[in-house]
Amino acid sequence: MRVIALGFALGAAWLQTQAALPEFRWLWLLPLLILLAAWWPGRGVSRSLPWLLLAAYAGFFYAGWRAELRLAEALPRAWEGRDIVLQGRVLGLPEATPRGQRFVFEVHRPATPDARVPRRLMLNRYIDGDAQDFVPLHGGDCRRLTVRLSRPHGNVNPHGFDYEAWLLEHGIRATGHAVGEPMAAQACAGEWRAALDRARESLRARLQAALPDRPYAGVALALAVGDQNAIPASQWILFRHTGVTHLMSISGLHVTLFSVLVYGLVQLIWRRLPALALRLPAQKAGVVLGLAAAALYVALAGFGIPAQRTLFMLAVAALAMLLDRAASASRILALALFAVVLIDPWAALSPGFWLSFGAVAALMLAGHGRLGRRAGWRTWLSAQWAVSLALLPALLLIFHEVSLVSPLANAFAIPLISWLAVPLVLLASLLPWAILADLAHAVIAVVMQGLHWLDALPQPVWQGAEPSAAALALALLGAVALILPRGMPARWLGVVLLLPLILPRLERPAQGELWLAVLDVGQGLAVVARTATHALAFDAGPRYASGEDAGGRIVAPYLFAEGMDKLDGLIVSHDDSDHSGGAIGLLASHRPAWTAASFTGLPSDMVSPLGQAVLGQAPKSLPCLSGQQWQWDGVRFEMLHPTAEHYRRREYSDNDRGCVLKITSRHGSVLIPADIERLGEMSLLERLPERLRADVLIAPHHGSATSSMPDFLSAVQPRWVVIPVGHRNRFGHPKPEVVRRYLDGGAQVLRTDRDGAVLLRLQETGFHWVDVRMRDARYWHNDSCAM
């Protein structure tokens, strides 16, 4: 069973790495594999191998079949961007955003004739006019909405979060926004789910009223009803640094420990009631009610997928106990793994899947074969050490950072949060006693104080480059060796096997070479330029409607994964949020040695609040000025624009005052003109026409009609043009006539909305480029990038 479950899970996971779904005609091999497995000679490992392959084959095609069914539920292209009237329900707790609300909407029927839409949608609703007049939607509301939809599309970057994969796993097959005001509707299906969502909103409101203006009220809400949006970004950073992110919401750990708590209490009470104990043994009563408590807690979480996985695992363990089957812990874990993948074949796309099963496996391995008894605190610390060590490779692969204080943080935070805070929070949300909420908040405050102390240590977190497949495999073997009991032969080799992970050999540009990454940040710009020993960021992308920014969500993870934990410079071209919105996050994560911006030194009334915040956080800020130049590793950087005159005269727009950078290497040159428009291009043509020639042009102003004049393009003569642009953006960028100009000039055109991030290498072996959407293609990307 263990081999079959592992093979089935690996097969389903392998399907998620494919660029296209398999052809099902190859299923004819399945009977042959069954015969091979049944008749295979040998014992032990050799006997298990054919069963592993058979199960992997079955899991691969099972996941492919499920994926084909889900992809079939697609929004027809003819209905993209059109007004469609729908009736349905708001699912879960709507998320408040800086510009309105974001929520999942389950469609019950389209009211627009002939309209075909997927069953589940992700919608935004924006504040139009006075925010005080905005009436928010609530979980369970039955509404009639007018919406404009598009097929799933997300940014595709190296080492980045795959939003399209997340939508696929959650069954969301279209995204969009509501138009106009929602109308009340009747006769929506799914009343039981609506009642649950209304109950969750009521519990959330009760806790909010009990903890007004408390600093950690958001954590209490997350623990009670799974509402993570109430936790501020600064606290999430603290949790990440100390390795306790999994504790600050309804996680698998909390569901499990809450179930165990109920299980123990029920047994304690049941044994003191002989009439009940005669009808049903106390242990089985504890199992039934413990599982029921876990199911109730998962319901409070809104049946989130991570919580569902934990419930499936507990159900398998409970079933074995109820049937009096003396199954080993590893068999129960294998059955749970099989059940989770059978129900959710996309589980491998979720970091929580690997981390939760990996943590349980590490605890089982750490406790296996140990003799004698140790003090409770030593056992607890050893468990934290084992889990942290076992998850080290996965954390570096997924998040590119590891908390060095995580074992200590979890050692005191897990019992306080899981055994005290969670029960108190649940009681406070159900009972009208304010002291319960106060006690829960006090417990959380104690934990937070300890986390702040750990975060104040000199090096609480370590960022590392994304490991290679070989380094990852060696590190997993090393972690297993170190977790084994003392006395095992050659256990010290585990340290050696971890070295390629901790000290990786990173690919870097050679002397005189230039590597450029034009990241896919949507409607905005973020470029990373690398030389042999230096790195520069030109713009940091936008701030999104959700409140997140591209600097923290896209640029910083890319830099960490590439082995860069610090920037040598940051240029913020101008004071528009699609270019400067991510700068604050990037200043915090990568501490650039200097920052240059076109709004440095301007009067405060000419600088936006966001621009002022950027300048306030930058340790050393300089104005961009034509004539500035420097050289790194044989590569020359030259600022061509703006001039001092552009700072003195108010009539210049932010776009035409923007920084323009030219980078020249031995093997080619790149021109980055940000958002300059006609006046900016004319200024460059008048002053520096001979300096504009470049092999690569980052399209001015995202390919708008106000830029890329024919004379400017004639001076640049690019061979490649990269257009940083958002998918189906409201500005209509790039304009078709501008793209035609690029093509007529003989340039090859790349677009981030179609190609994802574009990686360019100007090196001795020639000019090389990679569009990441093609390189990292997955079967769910195929339909989203058609233009």
Rounded-to-integer distance, Cα 592 and Cα 224, Å: 40
554 or 395, which is more confident: 554
Q: Between vectors from CA 14 to CA 12 and to CA 19, what angle results, nearest 5°?
A: 115
Read off the tokens for 242: 């100390």
Share of the chain above pLDDT 90, in %: 61
Please report where in the chains the tokens 């030593």 appear, as a residue. 378
Q: Other C-beta atoms within 10 Å of 123: how many?
A: 23
Name every residue whose Cβ is closer than 8 Å to that of residue 99 and which is 6 or more positions away in sequence: 124, 126, 127, 545
* Phi, psi torsion values for 257, nearest 5 degrees: -65, -35
Look up residue 41 and give its amino acid. P
pLDDT tens digits, 4-20: 999 999 999 999 999 99
Q: Which two tokens stand for residue 10?
A: 């690996």
The pLDDT, as a whole number, for residue 374 is: 55
Q: What is the dihedral of CA 474, 479, 481, 483, to 10 degrees?
A: -170
Cα(103)–Cα(494) distance, rounded to whole angstroms?
A: 47
Nearest to 413 by CA among 222, 293, 253, 215: 253
pLDDT of residue 482: 87
Of 428, 461, 37, the residue nearest 237 (C-alpha): 461
**Integer-rounded Cα radius of gyration of the chain:** 28
**What confidence tier does 42 reach under pLDDT thresholds 50, 70, 90?**
low
Task: Using pLDDT thresholds of 50, 70 and 90, give the confidence band for residue 351.
Answer: confident
Separation of alpha carbons 777 and 693, rounded Å: 34
SS (H, E, C) 736-762: HHHHHHHHHCCCEEEEHHHHCCEEEEE
Report helix, strand or coil for 111.
Answer: coil
Confidence of residue 647 (pLDDT cuts 50, 70, 90): very high
Query: pLDDT value at position 327?
Result: 66
Residue 518: φ, ψ to 5°: -95, 100
Cα separation, 320 vs 322, whole angstroms = 6
Q: So what's the pLDDT on residue 375?
A: 53
- Report the distance separating Cα 483 and Cα 358, nearest Å: 13
The residue-averaged pLDDT of 448-459 equals 94
- Could you give the angle at which helices 351-367 and 305-322 cross, rounded to 10 degrees? 40
DSSP label at residue 543: B
Instruction: Please name which of 323, 722, 331, 268 lies closest in space to residue 525, comparing C-alpha atoms.
Output: 722
E-only strand ranges, 157-297: 175-184
Is residue 573 within 8 Å of residue 539, measured between CB atoms?
A: yes
132 vs 655, more confident: 655
pLDDT greater than 80 at residue 542: yes
Contact 50, 40 (CB under 8 A): yes
The answer to whether the beta carbons of residues 621 and 570 sit under 8 Å apart is: no
Tokens of 6: 């592992």
**Would you call 724 helix, strand, or coil by DSSP?**
coil
What tokens were used for 444?
């959380």
Which of 197-206, 522-531, 578-587, 682-691 has the least mean pLDDT?
A: 197-206
Among 326-330, 419-423, 564-568, 748-752, name the one with the lowest average pLDDT: 326-330
Could you report the per-residue pLDDT of 216-274, keeping only the tens digit for each? Answer: 999 999 998 888 888 888 899 999 999 998 888 777 778 888 888 899 999 999 988 88
Evaluate whether 258 touches 417 at the Cβ level (below 8 Å): no
User: Residue 716's pLDDT is what?
Assistant: 97
Whether 345 and 68 have beta carbons less than 8 Å apart is answered as: no
Lowest average pLDDT, out of 209-218, 542-551, 644-653, 719-728, goes to: 542-551
Angle at 673 between CA 672 and CA 679, to 5 degrees: 165
Both tokens assigned to 141: 């509301």
Angstrom distance (rounded) from CA 500 to CA 567: 24
pLDDT for 483 equals 85
Of the ranges 471-480, 542-551, 750-759, which one carries the lowest mean pLDDT score?
Answer: 542-551
**Residue range 464-481, pLDDT digits in tens:** 898 888 999 999 999 888
Taking the mean position of all CA atoms in its chain, how far away is CA 780? 17
Pairwise CA distance, residues 337 & 427, whole Å: 32
- Cα 227–Cα 232–Cα 236 angle in degrees, nearest 5: 90
- Asked if pLDDT for residue 369 goes beyond 60, the answer is no
**Structure tokens given for 386:** 């084992």
pLDDT category of residue 447 using cuts at 50, 70 and 90: very high
What is the sign of the dihedral through the CA atoms of 274, 275, 280 and 283? negative
Q: What is the pLDDT of residue 148?
A: 96
User: CA-CA distance, 100 to 473, in Å (whole number)?
Assistant: 45
* Residue labelled with tokens 């690569």: 696
Better-predicted residue by pLDDT, 275 or 444: 444
Classify 345 as helix, strand or coil.
coil
SS percent in the chain: helix, strand, coil, step 5: 50, 15, 35
Long-range contacts of 429-437, Cβ-Cβ distance < 8 Å, separation of 24 or more: 429/203, 429/204, 429/206, 429/207, 429/224, 429/225, 430/203, 434/210, 437/207, 437/210, 437/211, 437/220
Question: For the chain, how many residues are written?
Answer: 787
Q: Could you tell me whether strands 120-126 and 175-184 are parallel, antiparallel, or unpaired per DSSP bridges?
A: parallel
How does the average pLDDT of the chain come out, rounded? 90
Angstrom distance (rounded) from CA 567 to CA 587: 9
Alpha-carbon distance 248 to 303, whole Å? Answer: 17
pLDDT of residue 313: 81
Residue 709, sorted as left (phi over 0), alpha (psi -120 to 50) or beta, turns out to be beta
Evaluate if residue 574 carries a pLDDT over 50.
yes
Give me the DSSP letters along 121-135.
Answer: EEEEEE--S-GGG--
Query: In the numeric block, which tokens belong to residue 218?
Result: 């958001």
323 and 187 Cβ atoms separated by less than 8 Å: no
Tally: H helices and E strands in the chain: 30, 22
- Please name every residue paired with 771 in a beta bridge, in sequence order, or none if there are none: 758
CB atoms within 10 A of CB 4: 19
pLDDT tens, 486-497?
Answer: 767 778 888 999
Residue 560's closest CA among 217, 251, 160, 270? 160
Split at pLDDT 50, 70, 90, the class of 371 is: very low
**Residue 395 burial (CB count, 10 A):** 20
